[in-house]
């Protein structure tokens, strides 16, 4: 039997839901919905405060816990921050870093790079987000993406790069309806560009070992085309992850398309 390629689907709950009981119920419902799916690694990333409450429902081979951010050091005088080592102690395996909503709060590539290095140092896998806010015919957004990749991953060793996941999220496509997501052909083109940048940085073999996810208005309706025609290794799902039925259907679609 042909071996299926392992894909990723990451649920970014953002600052939702409001009540802890709802976060627990959501994680449990997603877990139940995806339990028979064998070709997709599902990562749920609740708010930090909900991590200890939901951790016990995760931690199987294909169902892991993620965080939405992490600090720049294992511990220390960083009021209000949460360190990657603290997250690691709570069974967190992944951390989304450099999401555009955090960049909008002032995070730049330099800070994200510190977070990437600290996260890898703590033994977690960073899910590093990149994405342009607009596209122009001259293609300057490609230079922007290249700079985001190179600066966010600066000084990451070849062996550590194998633990990195890259999430391409064009900012203009986030939080919309499924027909406003990026077109799969354009996702494909951008994925090729990202692989080329990674290849120039670290060589072809490492570049091809780094999973590239797409995020931005992913829904059950567009998941198949994004995976197959967009040629990505997985999806980062925002608002549709707050509905366990929708999210499970996205994971099922990715499985069926694999």
Provide the binding-site residues for ligand PGA, judged by CB under 6 A. 12, 169, 174-175, 215-218, 236-240
Nearest approach in angstroms of CB 238 to ligand PGA is 2
Question: Closest distance between ligand PGA and the C-beta of residue 129, in Å?
Answer: 7
Tell me the residue nearest to ligand PGA as measured from the CB.
238
| Min dist. Cβ of residue 100 to ligand PGA (A) | 7
Angle formed by the axes of helices 140-152 and 184-202, to 10°? Answer: 50
Strand partners, 95: 67, 126
Return the number of the residue (9 or 237) whose C-beta is nearest ligand PGA.
237
CB of 56: closest distance to ligand PGA in angstroms? 25
Looking at the Cβ atoms of 85 and 125, the one nearer to ligand PGA is 125
Q: Which is nearer to ligand PGA, 44 or 207 (CB)?
A: 44
Residue 178 or 199: the one with the smaller Cβ distance to ligand PGA is 178
Task: From the candidates 41, 50, 99, 239, give the one annotated as an active-site residue.
Answer: 99
Alpha carbons 162 and 125: distance in angstroms, whole number: 9
Give one word for 29, left, alpha or beta, with left for phi > 0 and alpha for psi -120 to 50: alpha
Q: Who's near 254: CB < 8 A, 6+ residues apart?
A: 7, 9, 39, 40, 223, 224, 227, 234, 235
> Is there a catalytic annotation at residue 99?
yes
Q: Which residue is catalytic, options 169, 188, 239, 255?
A: 169
118 vs 182, beta carbon nearer ligand PGA: 182
In angstroms, what is the minimal distance from the CB of 201 to ligand PGA? 24
Active-site amino acid positions: 99, 169
């Amino acid at each position: 039997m042909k071996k299926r390629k392992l894909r990723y689907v990451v649920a970014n709950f953002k600052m939702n839901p409001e009540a802890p009981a709802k976060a627990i119920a959501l994680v449990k419902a997603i877990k139940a919905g995806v339990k028979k799916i064998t070709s997709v690694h599902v990562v749920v990333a609740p708010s930090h405060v909900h991590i200890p409450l939901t951790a016990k429902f995760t931690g199987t081979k294909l169902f892991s816990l993620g965080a939405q951010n992490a600090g720049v050091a294992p511990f220390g005088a960083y009021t209000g921050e949460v360190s990657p080592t603290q997250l690691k102690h709570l069974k967190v395996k992944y951390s989304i870093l450099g999401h555009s909503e955090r960049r909008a709060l002032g995070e730049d590539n330099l800070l994200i790079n510190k977070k990437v290095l600290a996260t890898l140092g703590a033994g977690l896998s960073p899910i590093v987000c990149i994405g342009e806010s607009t596209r122009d015919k001259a293609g300057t957004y490609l230079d922007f993406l290249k700079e985001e990749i190179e600066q966010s991953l600066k000084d990451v060793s070849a062996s550590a790069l194998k633990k990195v996941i890259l999430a391409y999220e064009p900012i203009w496509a986030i939080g919309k309806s499924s027909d406003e997501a990026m077109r799969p052909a354009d996702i494909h083109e951008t994925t090729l560009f990202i692989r080329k940048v990674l290849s120039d940085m670290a060589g072809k073999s490492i570049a091809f070992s780094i999973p590239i996810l797409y995020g931005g208005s992913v829904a059950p309706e567009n998941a198949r085309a994004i995976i197959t025609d967009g040629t990505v290794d997985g999806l980062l799902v925002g608002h549709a992850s707050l509905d366990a039925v929708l999210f499970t259907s996205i994971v099922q679609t990715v499985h069926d398309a694999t």
